[in-house]
Amino acid sequence: MSIVIITGGSRGIGASIATECARRGSGVILTYNSNQRAAETVVGAIEAKGGKAVALQLDVGDSATFPAFADAVRQQLTATWGRETFDALVNNAGYGRFNPIATVNEAEFDGLFRVHLKGPFFLTQALLPLMANGGHIVNVTSATSRVATAGVAPYAAFKGGLEVLTRYMAKEFGDRRIRANAVAPGPIRTELGGGLSADFEALLAGETALGRVGEPDDVGRMVASLLSDDNRWVNAQIIEVSGGYII
């Protein structure tokens, strides 16, 4: 059984990734920041269908906690699966903030940076000793790194930086046969940034070739598929999952 760690796995895209990975036979360690009940609901749903999952608390914006988190992962691997390593890391945790560049303050900028770029960098570093050779890293980025959308400049800039980091991960971890790819969702119906109003959703759907906004499962299934052996030769790629958003 492969074991997958998914940050921000208590809701939205992360919960879908966790559910899809479990459905395909993987053990799941999902993280939550503050909503333990939501994380336990996802774990319960996985276990109800015969899967195995564990929820651990993690603030991806606080890199000082990463060594302790790695220790917690090590303990869960041994206690739950009788293993010393895991197989895949999905850096998914994040949040949105919508402000024009002229109004963004340093605290907002730094918060987005810590969660969307610094966090994945140092969390991956902390967990590398526990990752099995031949493993896989998937960084969840955003189509906003390709399409300029007013109001999300820091978020998009750090997602773009994460895409660059993905290629460097693939390059530097190749000697351990660890793959690294990024999945870039387009507009998705989640709670990110407060969710989508009906008018805004209609606008986004009109800018998407397939005529609708995405659902979390559209991304969850893509990530689970990418982690499978069917895609073992896909490496260092940025894969947009957007239904053809602004093409």
Whether 245 is catalytic: no
Residue 221: helix, strand or coil by DSSP? Answer: helix
Q: What per-residue confidence (pLDDT) applies to 161?
A: 98
Q: Is 44 exposed, middle or buried (0-12, 13-18, 19+ CB in 10 A)?
A: exposed
| Residue of 126, 105, 141 whose CA lies nearest to 62 | 126
Check residue 200 and give its pLDDT.
84
Choosing from 32, 95, 155, 245, the catalytic residue is: 155
164 Cβ partners below 8 Å, 6+ apart? none
What HEC string does 146-187 produce? Answer: CCCCCCCHHHHHHHHHHHHHHHHHHHHCHHHCCEEEEEEECC
Domain of 149, CATH number, reads 3.40.50.720
Convert the pLDDT of each residue in 32-62 to its tens digit.
999 999 999 999 999 999 999 999 999 999 9
How do residues 169-208 score in pLDDT, each as one tens digit?
A: 999 999 999 999 999 999 998 776 556 788 889 999 999 9
Mean pLDDT, the chain, integer: 96
- Owner of token pair 């739950």: 80
Mean pLDDT to the nearest integer, 211-224? 97
Per-residue pLDDT averaged across 96-109, rounded?
Answer: 96
32 assigned to some structural domain: yes
Flag whether 141 is in a domain.
yes
In a domain, 42, yes or no: yes
Domain count for the chain, please give it: 1
**Which residues form the domain of 134?**
3-241
Establish if 61 belongs to a structural domain. Answer: yes
Q: Is residue 246 part of a domain?
A: no
Token pair listed for 34? 């503050």
Which pLDDT value is given to residue 196? 73
Local structure of residue 92 (DSSP, 8 states): -
Instruction: Give, for 67, the enclosing helix (H) or strand (E).
Output: helix 66-76
pLDDT over 90 for what percent of the chain?
94
The model's pLDDT over 67-102, given as tens digits with 9 standing for 90+, comes to: 999 999 999 999 999 999 999 999 999 999 999 999
Q: Read off the pLDDT of each residue in 159-169 and give the average, rounded to a whole number.
A: 98
Q: What is the pLDDT of residue 194?
A: 58
Q: How many CB atoms lie within 10 A of CB 118?
A: 17
CA-CA distance, 174 to 164, in Å (whole number)? 16
Whether residue 169 lies inside any domain: the answer is yes
Supply φ then ψ for residue 88, to 5 degrees. -150, 145
Domain membership flag for residue 247: no
Domain assignment of residue 171, yes or no: yes
Report the pLDDT value the prediction gives residue 221, as an integer from 0 to 100.
98
Q: Using the predicted structure, report yes or no on whether residue 234 has a pLDDT greater than 60.
A: yes
